[in-house]
Chain A
């Protein structure tokens, strides 16, 4: 009995928990046979209150779909398995619908996420009545957006302004969980730092942020922990400090390879390509590219296990 209670307490500190999440798409193959294409499998990580979690991985590792899965805005042919808990309650489609725009906020990638024919101010205010125009103006000011920004149309904004307007939409809500999907591409270093600083600020105010990115360098500067995704799998969960310590601080061979691939750490490319999550592999998904692989790796997918205050999906990591 007391274990259960303990578990409950534990879950209350955790804002979002993702357990064994898999995501596949139904599609028609040859001869109208239904096939399912798995893009995420065995995804695990948790987000605590006031924490910035960076989800990093190469393009095509299923990062953006993760955001859609949490928000419940996947296309109808997507099939989700596994569990997502929000404040200890399991997320259902209905709950997601209620939480969207209230507890969850998305900061999308680009200007295509703004209605081209609606003035930015009206758009940032959102559909809820009464319109929070005064508060929005303050937030715009705080983000150093010129006063006339509210009267502009999206096509009149610069890239940086668009980014800040999109961030403002999240700041306007009372959202506890902010999911930022690739917020930095196309920005200069200074702009990117500024944007990430805004997310850090929100986390310091007690909100939680999931930062989906492939820019490890920048993510490590602002995140508390980093979840590394490879082929739709979580391969490692490390704290940002582990990255600062370099290769020894990290656990999974893929994370180490990523670290080595950074310009300041040798610029060493990782050999091979990333497979699909559902590409009929029974063993470890990284095994074909791994220098540490043994027969065990090719036979069975390693479970995620705790290691040195982090988590790793590897038999051989120490």
Chain B
């Protein structure tokens, strides 16, 4: 047990180093891309001030911001600020970027977590059903549904659901995370969940069929393995085999897949949040991109990289805790 603990810490440290170097690379690349883009941060800032600025004043701002410094120097300047937790101020929201990310992330996290759980649990169950009835009619029908779902773009599904359940049937609100015209402190948890259902469902549909089809294939392999054949000769019926060997051997790869889908999840949330006007990180990043809010854009880029890396690291650590093949290696 002590050995495993030490090993886990070891892996954690090694993963963290990898993560930090990756974040550094992401920061460098995104900074490079932003500096090469035609966006003029000073111009955007002045636009936000909504007052006339003389060329002299503009030159002063440029001097103050260090726009004319060499790019490498600017990068290091920015990086030291970031490392101190200073992500700058958003031009469109006129508030510190860190604050916006924190606030938006909670909304996004709720959305992504719900979607993640829905797709994970239902995808897995469906995969088990498909694998169990491999190539028989329940599998054939479900497989077609999965193919259809995975070939439909998320934004389109989102619009479709919005149209059907929001506009026609009026079962769910058509957008936002809380009712319109209510102060945020008066919004109940129930109402928040009510607003969350449709976007979360849309987002879950994106990774849902992946996990289902993967589990199906994996279960089929397991059911045709030597050890299942042996279990059969020992008198285990199909249901016992599924419970004793099937799920045991399928759940590990499914978990890994689910944890490594954080990247897709984040990408999907941008689309889902935009369709449902949901105030999360996803809608903030598209707003930042469209309105040239550089500090917000860079901040969210870094944050999302951190988020995805964390997901992958959890998958790595979890696998070592759960999989006996890796956990109990002979000394």
Contacts and interface: CB of A to CB of B under 8 A. Distances in A.
Interface in B226-243: 226-227, 229-236, 240
Contacts of A108: 226, 230, 233
B67 to A, nearest CB: 59
Given A153-B324, A156-B330, A113 B226 contact: yes
B234 to A, nearest CB: 4
Contacts of A152: 328
B325 interface: yes
Nearest to A179: B233
Nearest to B325: A155
DSSP majority for the B interface?
Answer: helix
B330 A112 contact: no
Interface in A155-190: 155-156, 169, 173
A284 to B, nearest CB: 34
Contact of B235 (A102, A114, A117): A102
Contact of B233 (A71, A115, A116): A71
Nearest to B324: A153
Contacts of A71: 233
B245 A115 contact: yes
B226 A101 contact: no
Interface string A66-110: 000001010000000000000000000000010011101110101
A166 B232 CA distance: 14
Nearest to B225: A112
B230 A105 contact: no
A118 interface: yes
Contacts of B323: 117
Contact residue range for chain A? 20 to 34
Interface string B91-128: 00000000000000000000000000000000000000
A104 B234 CA distance: 8
Given A113-B226, A115-B245, A105 B252 contact: no
A13 B16 CA distance: 70
A102 B248 CA distance: 25
A156 B231 CA distance: 20
A127 interface: yes
DSSP majority for the A interface?
Answer: loop
Nearest to B237: A97
Contact of B232 (A73, A114, A173): A73
B105 to A, nearest CB: 36
Given A117-B249, A155-B325, A127 B227 contact: no
A278 interface: no
Contacts of A310: none
9 cross-chain pairs, A with B, having the tightest CB-CB distances, nearest first: A101-B235, A113-B230, A101-B234, A112-B226, A106-B233, A100-B235, A115-B227, A153-B324, A113-B226
Interface of B: 225-227, 229-236, 240, 244-245, 248-249, 252, 323-325, 328, 330
Given A100-B232, A112-B225, A155-B324, 18 more contacts: A73-B229, A101-B233, A101-B235, A104-B233, A106-B230, A106-B234, A108-B233, A113-B227, A115-B231, A115-B249, A116-B227, A117-B248, A117-B323, A127-B234, A127-B235, A127-B244, A152-B328, A156-B328
